[in-house]
Every structure is written in structure tokens, then in C-alpha cells.
Amino acid sequence: MMSRAIKSLDTMSRRSGRITLQARDSNTLDPTGRALLKRRKSEPSKKKLQPAAKKQSFEIQKCWSEDGASPCVLIETPHKELEPADPSSFKQYTFKNLFIQPSPIPRLSWASSDDVWIKMLNKELKYVHDKSYLQRHPKLQPKMRAILLDWLLEVCEVYSLHRQTAYLAQDFFDRFMLTQENVNKDYLQLIGISALFVAAKIEEIYPPKITDFAYVTDGACDIWDIQRTELHILKALNWSLCPETPISWLKLYAQVEAQTDQENFLVPQFSQELYIQITQLLDLCMLDISSLDFSYSVLAAAAFCHFSSFDVIHKVSGLTWDGVSPCVRWMSPFMDVLRSQAAPQLKNFPKVRPDARHNIQTHVAYLDLLRKSQEHQLDSLDSQLSPVAVGTVLTPPNSTEKPANH
């Protein structure tokens, strides 16, 4: 009994000793802890933390000033976190100096006009479109694309969708087809209506329901087909869904040319009647797959140039005549056909304010106009290749006029 009491007393003393050791000042560091902390500091780090990867940025640097113009240099600048310690290993970075015009956007109260301009130019480089994608789809023809886009424009008018929505759908469709191969023509309508479904959810405040998009296909596509194709498009485009379309460029050019109140730059100040005439030319040109040969900013500038002077175009876009003239000449047959038609009129849409009617996509007999425009293109090409002036008759020379050695 006595031995048990001694053992229990010894156990309690050891426990009390532990309690005594733990009841120390928490702010003081014990010697073993100091030694451990010092050893950790002195040891070299085995694993260095890699800096977070950041996207390249661009800045505007003014070069010179002559007659009020100040051309700038678009300089790609790496972030300081990405600079290596050894300058000799700085070969993985490539720099490009791109000479651009200063921002035509006036001073803004809500953002830097230079930053807005640079972001728009960066999108021109990021979002790539190319008409050569038809080579990846042997069963498709350019006319099939025109028929599909014409139908999408008609759907946009039926549901009072904005022009930007229609042009976003066109951009999604063209860029998606660039990532695919051997698409059958039977799937074009499904891809087109799914692209419009994605564009409407991005651009419209109250987009139509998916059942509405399935309804306009007349039973060819159901909601499950559209949902599956929507996910396929988003993955193929890597969720890059915010390009600067020809409509956004055109609206910027028209606003800069007509703006009188810089404080309310986002409020449209241009003529609605002139704007819908230019957009009709753009609509017609976008049905032709050859429009993908040009950047969206050049397409909008060329369309605007047919209703204005190049001096105005240079002022609002900074583009040179050499950069715009090929697109202006290519667009001339389309403009000739539209001149023979009645001027478009502003339409009334339910639940659309009168001052916003020009933003709603409209539809006319574009396929018929496209056919006439392409015929004009062929005629102009034949006249350029002809060795004689138009109107002359090619007849063989008289026998007396032939060379003696023949």
C-alpha cells in the first residue's frame, strides 16, 4: 500500500513539473527555439518561390511632335517580377516596337483615353480571324456561310437584338470554325444559333430564352443540342469572348468625328440616319468571306470612308491611306449596289427608345445584294485584266498589217 502511494505521489510531481514548464511567458522564446529559428534562417532555401506570371503590358511613349501630331511608339514592357537576375539569360523575351498614331479618343473623366485605345489595339492582335478556315472543311462553300449569317441577321431583327450581338455571333462562328476540321454543312445552323445564344447572353440585358433559339430552327436543333454546342464553342475559343467588332470600331469613329460634348462621350452624338447606312454596307460586306482578309478596324474605317473623306478617317482612326485603300477598293462594288437601292430607314421596335433604334440589327434582302455585288466584282476584275479599253471590239488585223515573217 505504501509503495503504491509513493508511486502515485511521484507521478503527480512529474505532472506538476510539466505544468510548471508550460506555465511560462509566451512572449519569451526558449533557447532550443532560438537555436532552431537561427538554424532555419542560416540554411539556404531549397525551394525558391516562383513569381506569379503576369501578362505583358504596353505603354505609349511619345517620340516627336510635328505640326500638332505626335506619333507614338507602342512598347512591350515586361514586369519587374519577370526580370531574371542574369541579364545574359534575357533571351526568352522578344520586344516589338510598333509605330501607332496617338489615341483619337478625347480626354475621358472615367478612364485614360490612351489605355482605352491601347486595349482596343491589343484585341486586334489577340482575336485572329482568317478566311482560309474553309480549307479545313472540304464540304463547305463560302455561300453556305453567307446564308447562315443572313439568317442570323434575320433572327436578330425578330428578337430586337443589338448589332453588336449579331457581329459577336459572326466572330464566334468564324473563330470557332478556324479551330475545327471537316465540319458537315448539316451542323452549320446549330453552330450559328449556339454562337448567337452565347453572344446574346453577353451583350443583351434581357436575352431571349434558349427555347426561343431552338424554336427559330424549326425543330432542327433542340435545347440540349444548343447547350452542348455552346460548351464546345466556349472551350474551343478558350473563353476569349470580347473582341472589338467592326460595329464597335465604327461607333467609335462616328462618335469621335461628331462629338461636341467631351464630358458625355458615351452618349451618341452622330446622325442615326448616316449610321444605319454605314452599318448596312458593313452587313453586306461581312456576308462575303473575303471580308476576313481585313482587320475589323480597317473594315469599319473603309465603310466610313465611303460616306466621308479620308481626312476624317485619318483623324478618327490614325490609319494611313495605304492601310485603308485596299479595303476601300474591295468594298466599292458593294457600295455601288447599295447606291442603286433605296436608303435604309429607321425602324420602330417595341420596348426600344427612339434614340436607340439605330443600335438594333435590321435585315434586308442581303443575299440578293451580295450576288449583285459579287457580279460587279467579277466585271471590274475582267475590265482590269482586259488589254483594251471597255467598249472596243477585238478584231484580227488585216493581212496587209501582219508582219512579213508570219
pLDDT at 55 over 50: no
Give 323 or 59, the one with higher predicted confidence: 323
Asked whether residue 137 falls in the same domain as residue 74, the answer is no
Last residue of a domain, one of 243, 262, 285: 243
CATH of the domain at 307: 1.10.472.10
In this structure, are residues 194 and 172 in contact, taking their beta carbons and an 8 Å threshold?
no
Asked whether residue 280 falls in the same domain as residue 337, the answer is yes
Asked whether residue 250 falls in the same domain as residue 235, the answer is no
Asked whether residue 252 falls in the same domain as residue 236, the answer is no
Mean pLDDT of 265-270: 69
Return the percentage of the chain with pLDDT > 70, whole number: 66
- Total of domains in the chain: 3
- Calculate helix-pair angle for 321-339, 296-305, nearest 10 degrees: 60
pLDDT at 222 over 50: yes
Give 261 or 115, the one with higher predicted confidence: 115
H/E segment holding residue 61: strand 57-62
H/E segment holding residue 37: helix 31-42
How is residue 24 annotated by DSSP? S
pLDDT at 25 over 90: no
pLDDT at 255: 87
pLDDT at 325 over 80: yes
Mean pLDDT of 2-30: 46
Last residue of a domain, one of 243, 260, 277: 243
Give the separation between CA 257 and CA 69, rounded to whole angstroms: 17
Asked whether residue 259 falls in the same domain as residue 322, the answer is yes
Look at the block and give the residue holding cell 489605355: 115
pLDDT at 264: 65
pLDDT at 6: 46
Predicted confidence band of residue 383 (pLDDT cuts 50, 70, 90) = low
Read off the C-alpha cell for 112: 485614360
Asked whether residue 181 falls in the same domain as residue 274, the answer is no
Give the separation between CA 103 and CA 113, rounded to whole angstroms: 7
State whether residue 75 is helix, strand or coil. Answer: strand
Asked whether residue 259 falls in the same domain as residue 378, the answer is yes
pLDDT at 225: 94
Give 267 or 285, the one with higher predicted confidence: 285
Torsion angle (degrees, nearest 10) of CA 163, 165, 167, 169: -150
82 CB-near residues (< 8 Å, 6+ apart): 51, 53, 54, 93
Sign for the pseudo-dihedral over CA of 394, 400, 401, 403: positive
Give the separation between CA 72 and CA 191, rounded to whole angstroms: 41
Give 180 or 48, the one with higher predicted confidence: 180
Q: What is the pLDDT of residues 84-135, one digit of tens each?
A: 444 444 333 333 334 456 778 777 777 787 888 888 888 888 898 888 899 9
In a domain, 391, yes or no: no
H/E segment holding residue 57: strand 57-62
Mean pLDDT of 338-360: 90
Domain that holds residue 207: 132-243
In a domain, 197, yes or no: yes
In a domain, 239, yes or no: yes
pLDDT at 239 over 80: yes
pLDDT at 91: 37
Asked whether residue 318 falls in the same domain as residue 366, the answer is yes
Give the separation between CA 140 and CA 186, rounded to whole angstroms: 10
Last residue of a domain, one of 218, 243, 268: 243
Look at the block and give the residue holding cell 470557332: 176
Asked whether residue 238 falls in the same domain as residue 253, the answer is no
pLDDT at 84: 42
Mean pLDDT of 182-198: 95
Asked whether residue 156 falls in the same domain as residue 237, the answer is yes
pLDDT at 385 over 70: no
Predicted confidence band of residue 267 (pLDDT cuts 50, 70, 90) = low
Distances (CA, A) of 92 to 59, 269, 321: 20, 47, 36
Q: By C-alpha distance, which of 168, 189, 362 is closest to 284?
A: 362
In a domain, 200, yes or no: yes
pLDDT at 346 over 70: yes
pLDDT at 4 over 70: no
Distances (CA, A) of 20 to 11, 14, 29: 14, 10, 16
Give the separation between CA 74 and CA 57, rounded to whole angstroms: 10
Asked whether residue 266 falls in the same domain as residue 359, the answer is yes
pLDDT at 37 over 60: no
In this structure, are residues 107 and 117 in contact, taking their beta carbons and an 8 Å threshold?
no
In a domain, 393, yes or no: no
In a domain, 192, yes or no: yes
In a domain, 375, yes or no: yes
H/E segment holding residue 325: helix 321-339
Bridge partners of 58, per DSSP, are 76
Sign for the pseudo-dihedral over CA of 164, 168, 170, 174: positive
Asked whether residue 171 falls in the same domain as residue 292, the answer is no
Distances (CA, A) of 347 to 148, 249, 281, 356: 23, 23, 17, 11
Give 371 or 67, the one with higher predicted confidence: 371
Bridge partners of 76, per DSSP, are 58
In a domain, 124, yes or no: no
Instruction: Kindly give the residue spans of alpha helices, DSSP state H, lying in 178-320.
Output: 188-203, 210-215, 223-236, 246-258, 272-287, 296-305, 310-317
pLDDT at 70: 42
Predicted confidence band of residue 190 (pLDDT cuts 50, 70, 90) = very high
Q: Average model confidence (pLDDT) for the chain?
A: 77
Q: By C-alpha distance, which of 339, 338, 360, 341 is closest to 351?
A: 360
